[in-house]
């Protein structure tokens, strides 16, 4: 049985950078607070917790004083920085550069759309840390649209619309949303005079993984996808594997791998989400290779 790990899988640049920053800081001290899980992978969070990284929520953050707190890749709204200043908290900012750029674009675009009494819309997962950080960049509420078409009822299609996108959303879903907004604008009879601007702000380092993953999974007898259960990126990419290879299985760690999934002579592919550490995929590969003995 041949076992191969996808060379294009695992951490994206933003996650790799945040983990590097955290580990470098932990070398200097025995502990460090992190505002939210540094990565959507339970095993990696456990590993860093053993090194002294303590995950906290926003309520706990507001009560801290005179300490250090890591800002993860997803970014934070200005309110977080204000609280840190008031409580003498040193922020170690590991926000992904792609997210920082998007936050700036939203701030700059809001004044333009506000002048036209328009609406700023974000295509993303409700409650996601990145989306909350994006919403916090502007003084009034942005409209968040997920994959449920009922969300579109929040939009007034007779007024100007400026659309942005969470960096980790899929390109296909974004384009379908753009087409649907155009359709509803035309239904209102506003197509000729309406102002609708769609900004594709999806990170291509993430979105380009889909076609590569399809090619990788399609050439394997069995695919084992390794990801944290709370990773939306992981759930999406697993479905990409499942579509091209029905013998695809989702695991969070090596102990979940089942020997009955494999036959002698199978070519097995291992891949993961942008939040899946390489060491975790290697442990899964080792478990599978052990079945041949």
pLDDT, tens only, 126-137:
889 999 999 999
- pLDDT at position 2 is 94
Catalytic residues: 130
**Backbone torsion region of residue 75, taken as left when φ is above 0, otherwise alpha when ψ lies between -120 and 50, otherwise beta:** left
Q: Is the pLDDT of residue 190 over 80?
A: no
- Give the residue from 43, 67, 96 where a domain finishes: 96
Domain boundary among 145, 176, 202: 202
> Is 169 exposed, middle or buried, given 0-12, 13-18 or 19+ CB atoms closer than 10 A?
buried
> Do both 147 and 106 map to the same domain?
yes
Whether this prediction's pTM lies above 0.75 is answered by yes
The whole-chain average pLDDT of the chain stands at 92
* Res 192: pLDDT: 56
From 147, 175, 202, give the residue that closes a domain. Answer: 202
Between residues 141 and 237, which one has the greater pLDDT? 237
Q: Range of 223's domain? A: 2-9+207-291
Give the pLDDT of residue 194.
61
Structural domain total, the chain: 3
Going from the C-alpha of 124 to that of each of 12, 45, 80, 106, 195, the distances in angstroms are 19, 24, 21, 14, 21
Same domain as 214, residue 287: yes
Same domain for 151 and 85:
no
Identify whether residues 115 and 195 lie together within a single domain.
yes
Calculate the alpha carbon distances from 153 to 187, 190, 219, 231 in Å.
Answer: 14, 16, 42, 27
pLDDT for 293 beyond 70: no
Same structural domain for residues 192 and 238?
no
CATH of the domain at 284: 3.40.1010.20
Residues 110 and 197 in one domain: yes
One domain, residues 165 and 244:
no
- Across the range 37-65, mean pLDDT stands at 95
- Structural contact between residues 224 and 257, judged by C-beta atoms closer than 8 angstroms: yes
- In the predicted structure, residue 215 carries a pLDDT above the cut 70: yes
């Amino acid at each position: 049985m041949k076992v191969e790990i996808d060379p294009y899988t695992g951490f994206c640049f933003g996650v790799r950078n945040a983990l590097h920053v955290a580990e470098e800081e932990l070398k200097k001290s025995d502990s460090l607070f992190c505002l939210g899980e540094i990565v959507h992978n339970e095993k990696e969070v456990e590993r860093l917790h053993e090194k002294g990284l303590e995950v906290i929520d926003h309520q706990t953050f507001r009560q801290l004083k005179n300490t250090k707190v890591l800002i993860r890749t997803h970014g934070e709204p200005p309110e977080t920085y204000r609280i840190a200043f008031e409580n003498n908290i040193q922020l170690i900012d590991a926000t992904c550069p792609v997210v920082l750029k998007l936050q700036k674009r939203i701030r700059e675009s809001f004044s333009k759309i506000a002048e036209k009494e328009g609406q700023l819309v974000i295509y993303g997962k409700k409650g996601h840390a990145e989306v909350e950080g994006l919403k916090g960049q502007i003084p009034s509420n942005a409209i968040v649209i997920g994959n449920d078409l009922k969300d579109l009822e929040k939009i007034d299609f007779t007024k100007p619309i400026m659309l942005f996108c969470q960096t980790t959303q899929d390109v296909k879903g974004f384009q379908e949303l753009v087409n649907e907004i155009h359709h509803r604008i035309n239904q209102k009879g506003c197509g000729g005079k309406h102002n609708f601007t769609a900004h594709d702000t999806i990170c291509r380092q993430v979105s380009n993984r889909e076609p590569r993953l399809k090619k990788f999974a399609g050439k394997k007898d069995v695919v084992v996808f390794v990801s944290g259960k709370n990773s939306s990126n992981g759930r999406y990419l697993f479905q990409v594997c499942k579509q091209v290879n029905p013998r695809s299985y989702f695991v969070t760690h090596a102990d979940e791998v089942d020997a009955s999934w494999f036959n002698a002579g199978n070519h097995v592919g291992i891949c993961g989400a942008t939040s899946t550490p390489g060491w975790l995929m290697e442990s899964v590969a080792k478990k599978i290779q052990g079945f041949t003995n």
